[in-house]
Amino acid sequence: EVQLVESGGGLVQPGGSLRLSCAASGFSFSSYAMNWVRQAPGKGLEWLAYVGVGSSVLYYADSVKGRFTISRDDAKNSVYLQMNSLTAEDTAMYYCVRDNADCSTGTCYLIRFDAWGQGTPVTVSS
Least Å distance, CB 92 to another protein, is 13
Which residue in 29, 94, 95, 122 binds another protein (CB under 8 A)? 95
Which residue in 8, 21, 23, 50 binds another protein (CB under 8 A)? 50
Q: Rounded to whole angstroms, what are the CA distances from 56 to 5, 32, 33, 51, 99?
A: 23, 11, 10, 7, 14
Residue 8: CA count within 13 A, CB half-sphere? 18
Least Å distance, CB 74 to another protein, is 21
Per CB under 8 A, 27 contacts another protein: no
Rounded to 5°, angle at Cα 74 from 72 and 8: 45
Per CB under 8 A, 36 contacts another protein: no
Nearest CA to 23 out of 92, 100, 115, 101 is that of 115
Per CB under 8 A, 117 contacts another protein: yes
Of 16 and 123, CB closest to another protein: 123
CA dist 6 and 22 (Å) reads 4
* Residues in the chain, overall count: 126
Which residue in 53, 55, 60, 71 binds another protein (CB under 8 A)? 60
Which residue in 44, 56, 66, 104 binds another protein (CB under 8 A)? 44
Q: Which residues contact another protein by CB under 8 A?
A: 35, 44-47, 50, 59-62, 65, 95, 109-114, 116-119
